[in-house]
Amino acid sequence: MKVKVINKFTDKHTSKIHEVGEVFECDEARLKEIQSNRRRLVTVIEKDAPKKVQETKKGE
């Protein structure tokens, strides 16, 4: 999913500084980890589309 930085922060995994207004992608687990901080650091701007499961019919 795509998230937008609303408060500058340093990523503890990559040591990258994320500036206000920057947009980056992360997965659901990483988003929850970032949001566990006391300050609101990011906002979701685009969620991943749910994966579609193709159904097959027997005999086809």
* CA 40 – CA 49 distance, rounded (Å): 24
pLDDT, residue 39, reads 86
pLDDT, residue 21, reads 97
List of residues 6+ apart from 6 with CB closer than 8 A: 20, 40, 41, 42, 43
Token output for 12: 């503890």
Range of the domain at 15: 2-46
Structural domain count, the chain: 1
Residue with tokens 């097959």: 56
- For residue 24, is it within any domain? yes
- For residue 54, is it within any domain? no
- For residue 31, is it within any domain? yes
Bridge-based pairing of strands 42-46 and 2-5 is antiparallel
pLDDT above 90 for 4:
yes
Q: What is the pLDDT of residues 5-60, one digit of tens each?
A: 999 999 999 999 999 999 999 999 999 999 998 889 999 998 876 666 666 677 65
pLDDT, residue 51, reads 66
